[in-house]
Structure 1
């Protein structure tokens, strides 16, 4: 796990930014949850996942953050986000549990993610049970950078949707991760939706509708493929007592 110490926070409070599954599957031992955004990044389903939502032989796809300056040099089939905000959630971890939560996250964020720090801007309007804090807040975030071998870069959106539809791992279907992220982002704020996520979610719903319309014989072939992938990935994941303990986040994310 590489660590980018530049701009590392020196204050006693420890805050974590989640932009993927951490939005709806929070870390343990947090005492504050605040929706908001970071700037200078673009969220994309460009990170391979051989655990949780995929297998070593059939990797799934999860989100990572890409610096906007690097992203602008790429040929991305999806258009530029309308603004510079990437929405997510910041969690404050109880001081007595910071070390154990960091250890938990290092396990959860294996497979290509590294530690960075970035300013987080709290939303002005909160839901019941959420607490307001003036920002920005220095937050830790796990990012799959372009230098890691799990980063795949720009992909054709329809091919990516087909891949996500087919992929699954011990934590479940890859498409459930995508749909969970879409739903969780929409619930944060009227302006927190992500067009990249929304477009992929719609495409995968279209693939699902098409597959559900196939004949029984075709569905059985698909089912055999899925079961084979599950079997191939079984032993690699058997080392963990609980899949939930290592469910990816995006993370601080994926």
Structure 2
């Protein structure tokens, strides 16, 4: 059986799997927000970043990719390795609308945020979001590039995200200001990171034994 995959963040511009077609699509009931602390792809344990998650409420436009039946096993394996580093996302199938002339309704696999997970950041103030994003970098690159790529591709799709635009406006002056003193991290950056970790209880990546309670959510039900 073939598969649709809905991407709302980096999957829109860097899917990483083979697909037959890509369509502009809308998901109702979830919205895109910087609600996940990243300590792998766009941050680290001592300097967490923020990445997008699908959180409950509202609607979200993104890209839907159609995967041929023979490519489904490899695609699922790739996505689970990419998206399930810490178990902060739940793999689900949700109804989406393809925004083409036919307005086709399909079910697509996507990843929604697990609010019970310690990496769930909830709705942080925009100033805190901007400062976290400004100084974070992980295995997939710096956090700012992630934001800029997201905004660029949303713009290409004709999608306006007012909240993300306000966030980008706050990040601009922070990027222009100096981040280091003589090659060392500024004291206020270190203090901010410590304060955020304490206030919002950002934890180190879960040990395998701790992650087991989230594992059952990682795979879609086979009905």
**Superposed pair shares fold, TM > 0.5:** yes
Residue aligning to 1:129: none
Q: Does 1:104 align with 2:78?
A: yes
CA–CA distance in structure 2, aligned partners of residues 197 and 145 of structure 1: 21
Instruction: Give the counterpart of 2:2 among 4, 13, 31.
Output: 13
Superposed CA RMSD in Å reads 2.2
Q: Which residue of structure 2 aligns with residue 160 of structure 1?
A: 129
1:15-54, aligned counterparts within 5 Å?
15-54=4-43
- Equivalents in 1 of 2:165, 2:182: separation in Å? 26
Partner of 1:246: none
Counterpart check, 1:113 vs 2:89: yes
**Residue in structure 1 matching 2:118, options 145, 149, 157:** 149
Q: Does 1:187 align with 2:127?
A: no
> Alignment length, in residue pairs?
188
Superposed CA deviations along residues 110-142 of structure 1, whole A, max 9, x for unmatched, are: 221111111111223xxxxxxx65421100111
CA shift in 2, pair 1:147/1:209, >3 Å = same
| Structure 2 equivalent of residue 201 of structure 1 | 168
Q: 212, 215, 220: which one pairs with 2:183? A: 220
Contact 2:48 2:132 in 1 (8 A): no
TM-score by length of 2: 0.77
Structure 1 stretches (4+) deviating beyond 4 angstroms? 223-226
Contact 1:211–1:219, Cα closer than 8 Å, also in 2: no
Q: Distance in 1 between matches of 2:81 and 2:172?
A: 31
Contact 1:144 1:150 in 2 (8 A): no
Please give the secondary structure, in 1, of the residue aligned with 2:93. strand
* TM-score computed with the length of structure 1 as normaliser: 0.68
Structure possessing the higher relative contact order (Cα contacts under 8 Å, 6 or more residues apart): 1
Contact 1:49 1:61 in 2 (8 A): yes
Distance 1:133 1:102 in 2: 27
Aligned to 1:122: 98
Q: CA deviation at 1:223?
A: 8.4
CA distance in 2, matches of 1:188, 1:219: 41
Contact 2:47 2:135 (C-alpha < 8 Å) held by counterparts:
no
Q: What secondary structure sits across from 2:183 in the alignment?
A: helix
Cα offsets for 1:157-195 (capped at 9, x unmatched): 111101100000121110110111011111112xx1212
